[in-house]
Structure 1
Amino acid sequence: MTTVTAAWERARFAWDGSDSRALSTARHLVDTVTATRLAWQVFHAGPLRIAYGGYRAGHSHVLPFLQERARAAGLATGSLTAEPAGRRAPEADILAVGCSDRRALALPPAGAIIAPFRVHLVLPLAAAGQPQPVVVSRKERQRFAREHIRRGWALEATRSSADFGYFYRRMHLPTMARRHGDAARSVGPRAAHDTILAQGMLFFVTEHGERRAGMLCRLDRTRRTLTLRLAGVLDGAAEHYRSGVFMATYLLIARWATDQGIERMDLSGSEPFLSKGILQFKRKLHPRVELPPNHFANKRLWLGVRRDSPAVRELLTANPVLALGRPGRFEAVYFHDARRPPRTDLRWEGLGISAARHVDLDGFLAGLPKDGGPR
């Protein structure tokens, strides 16, 4: 890779994810201007049509998530296709708009909800200068204590380029491919090496001396924050999730960070839905939901229903939303109706959220055109 190409990758990485206030503000302004010129995209999920318009990032964050959740809800048995649409909002059952907070508030409120574009999960490690223990369930504590000894888990910290190559090739890429398939997205190896590793640390968890899982983290000692950026288990094998070594990686890194005087452990980002698998996994650590520290902090996701149908109700019920309430506050919103109970098995407790709100779809969708079929 040429020096020019490497410099370009580093610059693009900073543009995409820097927590610098000036750079984040500039990125948000550019995104807001260019979003007005981007075409809508529409995809079909069986009887359901969902359209997305707005920030370009939604094509890699919002659309793939909604497609995956449509499959999970049984609304699509085949492949989902995307089609370009014009700049005007197309005919669709659900419109998803990536936009600024001001525009989200100006869009029609009926049958709509405003969520953060993305959220971050942050684990506090210290308060008033005193270490704060990581809170996990009694079951998780007992499992960790038992398996820690039995499996000989240990944490290895390194900044070696050779170790990074092993992690990226044998852990990160296979794990992303297994979990996300064609929708996998990540940081390129050169940008990850020259930016994250150069400003952070690579961790491995070994089992009787053999590496089983790893995480690449950015370390900001000025802000006393450790941010988890890339993760993986050896060869992406499911057995390393079943053994508990992946959860052990979080716990052992948190212990290391506390010993280093780190006050916050940013577990990285997620789409604002309680049905997101990694969000439910990280919820076990009792993190706080926060707006992202970069340009995503000023972006919003406006979800508006344009047509009431059984498929729309299935999708909304199956995917409780982390919505924005009062300034700086989040609430878990559970949709339901007489045929579909709220998905309270997707829990909000342990996420630093003050409340949950149950929304009856009959009232939420009142006045909208209806498609046929039992509701």
Structure 2
Amino acid sequence: MIPPTWRYVWNNSADPRIVRAHTLADAAVTARPRVTLSWPDGEGLVLAYGGLPQGLTHVLPFLEQQRGTPSHRIRRGTTWTALVSGRAAPGADILSVGVLRDRVPERLPRHRLLLPFRVTLGVPVGPDPQEVLRRLSRKARQQHSRELRSHRRTLEVATGEKGFAFFYDDMHRPTMANRHGDSARSEDRESARVCLFQRGVLFFLRESDRRVAGMLCRLEGRTLVIRLAGVDQGSDQAYGSGTYLAMYVLILQWAAEHGLTRVDLSGCEPFLSKGIFQFKRKMHPEVVLPSNHFANKRLLLQVRRDTPSVRDFLAANPLLGFGPEQGFEAVYFHDDDRPPRLDLRWSCPGVQGHRLVDLDDFLAGLPGPSRRTSAVHPHLP
């Protein structure tokens, strides 16, 4: 069995030696890539994902969630040539391919976009705790101050094993199960205890002297990395009451008071429709490539068919692509019937601006709806 410390370092370390080794291992694992096709109950968008295996937990579940219907999958072997050309999934409307950076084609064909595989959101902090509040919008500041008093909110730093057990078993695990179900991803209990609790800080948010939420963080030099979170028994009520925002603000202020220089809010997939991106954007974080092995990974998004469901999906899910210079740009799709989702905001340090893409132009030349038949399912080739 791999020790939890080794496994954590392998998956999260920014050490250049570990990153290089991880990249070499990824290249070996994907020498014979596989592709997974995902289709919905009834009519609807057919998705496919191939390449780097991390996409089966970081990319495809999010795309399936945004499609909004129960999913059915099959997985099969393929080749890189077939993946990059799109031939690996002829029945898919949208094919996403996770690739190492050095496998990205020099020139992208039409109907394809190059995205970061993941992005990291981080907040620089200085010695003044009040600077944290100034990062928030006026409305968010007022809500935080008002609820801090009315709910009698305070921040607790816990040190005992009982505190860890309460957080992991009664907060984190129920929250992950309630919010993400089978697609939940996290650290196992022993890894969380050894690699986070023993090498970091466990915070609880107390309301009227009762623990209602917690966050388990790792200390890496003068950076505090927020890794795991949860609310008491996974309650939905906490998500609508400002509990998480209050906890983030108090932790950022704690970091400022204790001489830290940065709080890593962790990362997410490169889509503005990702709820965690929109929530953490309230703290005006910097958007950067991850410092670990994900820095060498890219996501090729290939649109293969022009259908109403494809247009609906692209318009509903603006994304973060690479800008013309260093940094990212927000990309919004639209047409005459689908206005750009500018309500999903992009403004953060590291995102240079936004671009509007007309779907009529982007999808020009692609085949439209067609009948797809299969002995397995009518939506597969």
* TM-score, reference length from structure 1: 0.91
- Return 5+ residue gaps in structure 2 as ranges: 83-87, 372-381
Deviation of 1:107 after TM superposition, in Å, equals 6.6
Query: Which one of the candidate residues 50, 54, 58 is aligned to 1:53?
Result: 50
Q: Residues of 1 paired with 2:219 and 2:325: CA distance? A: 29
**What does the per-residue CA deviation read over 1:35-68, in whole Å, with 9 as the maximum and x for residues that have no partner?**
2313111011333221111111001111101100
2:71 counterpart residue number: 80
Alpha-carbon contact 2:287-2:348 (below 8 Å) kept: no
Alpha-carbon contact 1:32-1:99 (below 8 Å) kept: no
Deviation of 1:372 after TM superposition, in Å, equals 6.2
2:202 counterpart residue number: 202
Deviation of 1:327 after TM superposition, in Å, equals 5.2
1:44 counterpart residue number: 39
Q: Which amino acid aligns with 2:125?
A: L
Q: Residues of 2 paired with 1:103 and 1:10: CA distance? A: 31
2:16 counterpart residue number: 21
Deviation of 1:144 after TM superposition, in Å, equals 1.1
Q: Is 105-114 or 294-303 further displaced after alignment? A: 105-114
**What does the per-residue CA deviation read over 1:204-258, in whole Å, with 9 as the maximum and x for residues that have no partner?**
011111101100001112xx11110000111111221222121110000000000
Q: Residues of 1 paired with 2:128 and 2:243: CA distance? A: 28
1:69 counterpart residue number: 66
Q: Does 1:90 align with 2:85?
A: no
Q: Residues of 2 paired with 1:367 and 1:215: CA distance? A: 49
Tell me the secondary structure at the aligned position of residue 351 of structure 2: coil
Q: 1:310 to 1:351 in 2, by over 3 A?
A: farther
Q: 1:167 to 1:181 in 2, by over 3 A?
A: same
Q: Which amino acid aligns with 1:86?
A: G
Alpha-carbon contact 1:176-1:184 (below 8 Å) kept: yes
1:307 counterpart residue number: 305
2:28 counterpart residue number: 33
- Return 5+ residue gaps in structure 1 as ranges: none
Tell me the secondary structure at the aligned position of residue 17 of structure 2: helix
Query: Which one of the candidate residues 287, 291, 294 is aligned to 2:292?
Result: 294
2:260 counterpart residue number: 262
Tell me the secondary structure at the aligned position of residue 340 of structure 1: coil
Q: Residues of 2 paired with 1:147 and 1:286: CA distance? A: 21
Q: Residues of 2 paired with 1:106 and 1:310: CA distance? A: 31
Q: Which amino acid aligns with 2:253?
A: R
Tell me the secondary structure at the aligned position of residue 232 of structure 1: strand
Q: Residues of 2 paired with 1:337 and 1:116: CA distance? A: 25
Q: Which amino acid aligns with 1:90?
A: A
Alpha-carbon contact 1:285-1:350 (below 8 Å) kept: no
Moved over 6 A (4+): 129-132
Q: 1:278 to 1:58 in 2, by over 3 A?
A: same
Q: Residues of 2 paired with 1:115 and 1:304: CA distance? A: 11
**What does the per-residue CA deviation read over 1:110-153, in whole Å, with 9 as the maximum and x for residues that have no partner?**
10111100001111113xx7778121111111111111112111
Aligned residues between the structures: 358
Q: Does 1:278 align with 2:269?
A: no
Deviation of 1:108 after TM superposition, in Å, equals 3.9
Q: Residues of 1 paired with 2:23 and 2:9: CA distance? A: 13
Q: Percent identity?
A: 47
Q: Residues of 2 paired with 1:26 and 1:159: CA distance? A: 34
Question: Cα RMSD between the aligned structures?
Answer: 1.7
Alpha-carbon contact 2:111-2:302 (below 8 Å) kept: yes
Tell me the secondary structure at the aligned position of residue 354 of structure 1: strand
Tell me the secondary structure at the aligned position of residue 191 of structure 1: helix
Correspondence 1:163-202 to 2 at 5 A: 163-202=163-202
Tell me the secondary structure at the aligned position of residue 110 of structure 1: coil
